[in-house]
Amino acid sequence: MRVHVADHPLVTHKLSVLRDRATQAPAFRELVAELVALLSYEATRDMRVTEVEVETPVATTTGVKISEPLPLAVPIIRAGLGMLDGFVKIVPACEVGFVGIVRDETTLQPQTYAKRLPEDLSNRQCFVLDPMLATGGSLSATVQFLFDAGASDVTAICLVAAPEGVQRMNRDFGDKNVTIVLGALDESLNDDGYIVPGLGDAGDRLYGTA
Ligand code: URA
Protein backbone atom coordinates (compact mmCIF):
# COMPACT_ATOMS: atom_id res chain seq x y z
CA MET A 1 0.00 0.00 0.00
CA ARG A 2 1.17 3.52 -0.78
CA VAL A 3 0.02 6.80 0.74
CA HIS A 4 0.47 10.05 -1.12
CA VAL A 5 -0.32 13.34 0.63
CA ALA A 6 -0.76 16.14 -1.91
CA ASP A 7 1.75 18.81 -1.12
CA HIS A 8 0.51 21.72 -3.16
CA PRO A 9 -0.44 25.25 -2.09
CA LEU A 10 -3.67 25.16 -4.10
CA VAL A 11 -4.81 22.00 -2.34
CA THR A 12 -3.93 23.41 1.09
CA HIS A 13 -5.61 26.72 0.32
CA LYS A 14 -8.85 25.11 -0.87
CA LEU A 15 -8.83 22.71 2.08
CA SER A 16 -8.44 25.62 4.49
CA VAL A 17 -11.60 27.26 3.13
CA LEU A 18 -13.37 23.89 3.22
CA ARG A 19 -12.45 23.40 6.88
CA ASP A 20 -13.81 26.82 7.87
CA ARG A 21 -17.12 26.32 9.71
CA ALA A 22 -18.44 29.51 8.04
CA THR A 23 -18.21 27.98 4.54
CA GLN A 24 -21.76 27.23 3.36
CA ALA A 25 -22.95 24.24 1.32
CA PRO A 26 -22.84 25.83 -2.19
CA ALA A 27 -19.20 26.96 -1.79
CA PHE A 28 -18.37 23.72 0.01
CA ARG A 29 -19.64 21.62 -2.93
CA GLU A 30 -17.71 23.67 -5.45
CA LEU A 31 -14.51 23.43 -3.43
CA VAL A 32 -14.88 19.66 -3.06
CA ALA A 33 -15.19 19.32 -6.85
CA GLU A 34 -12.10 21.48 -7.40
CA LEU A 35 -10.09 19.57 -4.78
CA VAL A 36 -11.08 16.22 -6.24
CA ALA A 37 -9.99 17.40 -9.68
CA LEU A 38 -6.58 18.36 -8.28
CA LEU A 39 -6.21 15.10 -6.32
CA SER A 40 -7.38 13.06 -9.33
CA TYR A 41 -4.49 14.43 -11.34
CA GLU A 42 -2.14 12.77 -8.84
CA ALA A 43 -4.30 9.64 -8.42
CA THR A 44 -4.37 8.89 -12.16
CA ARG A 45 -0.63 9.19 -12.69
CA ASP A 46 -0.37 5.45 -13.45
CA MET A 47 -3.61 5.19 -15.41
CA ARG A 48 -3.26 2.60 -18.17
CA VAL A 49 -3.23 4.01 -21.68
CA THR A 50 -2.96 2.59 -25.19
CA GLU A 51 -1.04 4.21 -28.02
CA VAL A 52 -3.10 5.66 -30.85
CA GLU A 53 -2.26 7.44 -34.06
CA VAL A 54 -3.49 11.05 -34.23
CA GLU A 55 -3.75 13.13 -37.37
CA THR A 56 -3.21 16.78 -36.62
CA PRO A 57 -3.99 19.37 -39.31
CA VAL A 58 -0.23 19.28 -40.04
CA ALA A 59 1.09 15.74 -39.54
CA THR A 60 0.52 12.31 -38.07
CA THR A 61 1.74 11.68 -34.54
CA THR A 62 1.41 9.21 -31.70
CA GLY A 63 -0.91 9.90 -28.78
CA VAL A 64 -2.68 7.79 -26.16
CA LYS A 65 -6.20 6.89 -25.14
CA ILE A 66 -7.38 5.44 -21.84
CA SER A 67 -7.21 1.64 -22.05
CA GLU A 68 -10.15 -0.73 -21.75
CA PRO A 69 -11.58 -1.97 -19.50
CA LEU A 70 -12.29 1.62 -18.60
CA PRO A 71 -11.46 2.85 -15.09
CA LEU A 72 -14.21 2.54 -12.51
CA ALA A 73 -15.06 5.36 -10.09
CA VAL A 74 -16.71 4.15 -6.88
CA PRO A 75 -18.15 6.91 -4.70
CA ILE A 76 -19.10 5.72 -1.22
CA ILE A 77 -22.63 7.06 -0.68
CA ARG A 78 -23.46 9.55 0.77
CA ALA A 79 -20.51 11.96 1.08
CA GLY A 80 -18.50 10.31 -1.72
CA LEU A 81 -21.21 11.35 -4.18
CA GLY A 82 -20.09 14.93 -3.69
CA MET A 83 -16.72 13.94 -5.16
CA LEU A 84 -18.06 12.28 -8.31
CA ASP A 85 -18.45 15.42 -10.47
CA GLY A 86 -14.86 16.47 -9.83
CA PHE A 87 -13.54 13.04 -10.80
CA VAL A 88 -15.74 12.70 -13.89
CA LYS A 89 -14.58 16.09 -15.11
CA ILE A 90 -11.01 14.81 -15.19
CA VAL A 91 -11.80 11.25 -16.35
CA PRO A 92 -15.00 11.55 -18.42
CA ALA A 93 -14.44 8.08 -19.87
CA CYS A 94 -14.79 6.38 -16.48
CA GLU A 95 -17.64 4.10 -15.57
CA VAL A 96 -19.27 4.44 -12.14
CA GLY A 97 -20.19 1.90 -9.48
CA PHE A 98 -21.80 2.69 -6.14
CA VAL A 99 -21.38 1.47 -2.59
CA GLY A 100 -23.67 2.69 0.18
CA ILE A 101 -22.25 2.45 3.68
CA VAL A 102 -23.42 4.14 6.86
CA ARG A 103 -21.50 4.29 10.05
CA ASP A 104 -23.39 3.06 13.09
CA GLU A 105 -22.91 6.12 15.31
CA THR A 106 -22.80 3.97 18.46
CA THR A 107 -20.39 1.26 17.43
CA LEU A 108 -18.74 3.31 14.62
CA GLN A 109 -18.88 0.08 12.56
CA PRO A 110 -19.75 0.30 8.82
CA GLN A 111 -23.04 -1.14 7.58
CA THR A 112 -23.60 -1.73 3.86
CA TYR A 113 -27.05 -0.82 2.53
CA ALA A 114 -26.37 -0.60 -1.23
CA LYS A 115 -23.88 -2.03 -3.67
CA ARG A 116 -23.93 -1.65 -7.45
CA LEU A 117 -20.69 -2.74 -9.08
CA PRO A 118 -19.82 -4.50 -12.35
CA GLU A 119 -19.59 -8.24 -11.71
CA ASP A 120 -16.04 -8.74 -12.88
CA LEU A 121 -13.44 -6.12 -12.03
CA SER A 122 -10.36 -7.97 -13.26
CA ASN A 123 -7.92 -5.65 -15.03
CA ARG A 124 -9.92 -2.59 -14.10
CA GLN A 125 -8.33 0.30 -12.29
CA CYS A 126 -10.73 1.33 -9.51
CA PHE A 127 -10.91 4.77 -7.89
CA VAL A 128 -12.81 4.93 -4.61
CA LEU A 129 -14.12 8.36 -3.63
CA ASP A 130 -14.49 8.91 0.11
CA PRO A 131 -13.88 12.39 1.53
CA MET A 132 -13.08 11.47 5.15
CA LEU A 133 -10.80 8.54 6.01
CA ALA A 134 -11.66 8.36 9.73
CA THR A 135 -11.62 4.87 11.32
CA GLY A 136 -11.09 3.31 7.88
CA GLY A 137 -14.04 0.93 8.33
CA SER A 138 -16.07 2.07 5.30
CA LEU A 139 -13.08 2.40 3.01
CA SER A 140 -11.70 -0.98 4.06
CA ALA A 141 -15.07 -2.68 3.43
CA THR A 142 -15.37 -1.02 0.01
CA VAL A 143 -11.84 -1.92 -1.08
CA GLN A 144 -12.51 -5.51 0.05
CA PHE A 145 -15.70 -5.60 -2.12
CA LEU A 146 -13.57 -4.53 -5.09
CA PHE A 147 -10.88 -7.14 -4.47
CA ASP A 148 -13.60 -9.79 -4.00
CA ALA A 149 -14.94 -8.82 -7.44
CA GLY A 150 -11.51 -9.37 -9.03
CA ALA A 151 -9.92 -5.93 -8.80
CA SER A 152 -6.18 -5.84 -8.25
CA ASP A 153 -5.45 -2.13 -8.51
CA VAL A 154 -7.38 0.24 -6.24
CA THR A 155 -6.76 3.92 -5.55
CA ALA A 156 -8.72 5.80 -2.89
CA ILE A 157 -9.04 9.56 -3.09
CA CYS A 158 -9.77 11.19 0.29
CA LEU A 159 -9.79 14.86 1.19
CA VAL A 160 -8.74 14.41 4.82
CA ALA A 161 -7.50 11.39 6.78
CA ALA A 162 -6.80 10.52 10.40
CA PRO A 163 -3.64 8.50 11.16
CA GLU A 164 -5.94 5.81 12.64
CA GLY A 165 -7.66 5.31 9.26
CA VAL A 166 -4.39 5.09 7.38
CA GLN A 167 -3.12 2.53 9.92
CA ARG A 168 -6.29 0.46 9.52
CA MET A 169 -5.92 0.46 5.72
CA ASN A 170 -2.27 -0.49 6.09
CA ARG A 171 -3.22 -3.36 8.40
CA ASP A 172 -5.89 -4.65 5.97
CA PHE A 173 -4.14 -4.01 2.64
CA GLY A 174 -0.46 -3.46 3.47
CA ASP A 175 0.72 -6.01 0.91
CA LYS A 176 -1.88 -5.14 -1.77
CA ASN A 177 -1.82 -2.81 -4.76
CA VAL A 178 -3.70 -0.04 -2.97
CA THR A 179 -2.85 3.65 -3.18
CA ILE A 180 -4.38 6.35 -0.99
CA VAL A 181 -4.19 9.91 -2.25
CA LEU A 182 -4.92 12.50 0.44
CA GLY A 183 -5.44 16.23 0.55
CA ALA A 184 -4.22 16.25 4.16
CA LEU A 185 -3.23 13.87 6.94
CA ASP A 186 -4.70 15.33 10.14
CA GLU A 187 -3.80 14.87 13.81
CA SER A 188 -6.22 12.33 15.24
CA LEU A 189 -9.70 10.96 15.64
CA ASN A 190 -11.83 12.10 18.59
CA ASP A 191 -14.08 9.90 20.75
CA ASP A 192 -17.07 10.62 18.48
CA GLY A 193 -15.15 9.35 15.44
CA TYR A 194 -14.54 12.82 13.94
CA ILE A 195 -11.24 13.73 12.38
CA VAL A 196 -9.39 16.48 14.30
CA PRO A 197 -9.12 19.23 13.16
CA GLY A 198 -11.01 17.85 10.13
CA LEU A 199 -13.96 19.71 8.67
CA GLY A 200 -16.91 18.19 10.52
CA ASP A 201 -19.42 15.88 8.88
CA ALA A 202 -18.67 16.03 5.16
CA GLY A 203 -22.11 14.68 4.16
CA ASP A 204 -23.95 17.24 6.29
CA ARG A 205 -21.82 20.08 4.99
CA LEU A 206 -22.22 18.99 1.35
CA TYR A 207 -25.96 18.57 1.51
CA GLY A 208 -26.79 21.38 3.93
CA THR A 209 -28.14 19.14 6.69
CA ALA A 210 -25.67 20.41 9.32
N1 URA B 1 -16.92 11.41 8.57
C2 URA B 1 -17.01 12.76 8.41
O3 URA B 1 -17.82 13.24 7.62
N4 URA B 1 -16.21 13.54 9.16
C5 URA B 1 -15.31 13.05 10.05
O6 URA B 1 -14.60 13.83 10.69
C7 URA B 1 -15.22 11.66 10.20
C8 URA B 1 -16.04 10.85 9.45
User: Could you tell me if the CB of 134 is within 6 A of ligand 1?
Assistant: yes
Per the confidence metrics, is the pTM higher than 0.80? yes
The full 3-state SS of the chain, as one line of letters, equals: CEEEECCCHHHHHHHHHHHCCCCCHHHHHHHHHHHHHHHHHHHCCCCCEEEEEEECCCCEEEEEEECCCCCEEEEEECHHHHHHHHHHHHCCCCEECEEEEEECCCCCCEEEEEEECCCCCCCCEEEEECCEECCCHHHHHHHHHHHHCCCCEEEEEEEEECHHHHHHHHHHHCCCCEEEEEEEECCEECCCCCEECCCCCHHHHHHCCC
Residue 25 lies in a domain: yes
Residue 59 lies in a domain: no
Where in the sequence is the domain holding 154, given as residue range(s)?
2-47+64-207
> How many domains, in total, are found in the chain?
1
Residue 55 lies in a domain: no
Residue 52 lies in a domain: no
Please give the annotated binding residues for uracil, written as ranges.
195, 200-202
Residue 91 lies in a domain: yes
User: Could you tell me if the CB of 139 is within 6 A of ligand 1?
Assistant: no
Distance 150 CA to ligand 1 centre (A): 29
ipTM: 0.96
Pocket test for ligand 1, best of 201, 205, 207, 209 (most atoms within 8 A of CB): 201
pLDDT in single tens digits along all 210 residues of the chain: 999 999 899 999 999 999 999 999 999 999 999 999 999 999 999 999 999 999 999 999 999 999 999 999 999 998 999 999 999 999 999 999 999 988 777 876 788 888 899 989 999 999 999 999 999 999 999 999 999 999 999 999 999 999 999 999 999 999 999 999 999 999 999 999 999 999 999 999 999 876
Q: Which domain CATH number covers 100?
A: 3.40.50.2020
Distance 95 CA to ligand 1 centre (A): 26
Residue 58 lies in a domain: no
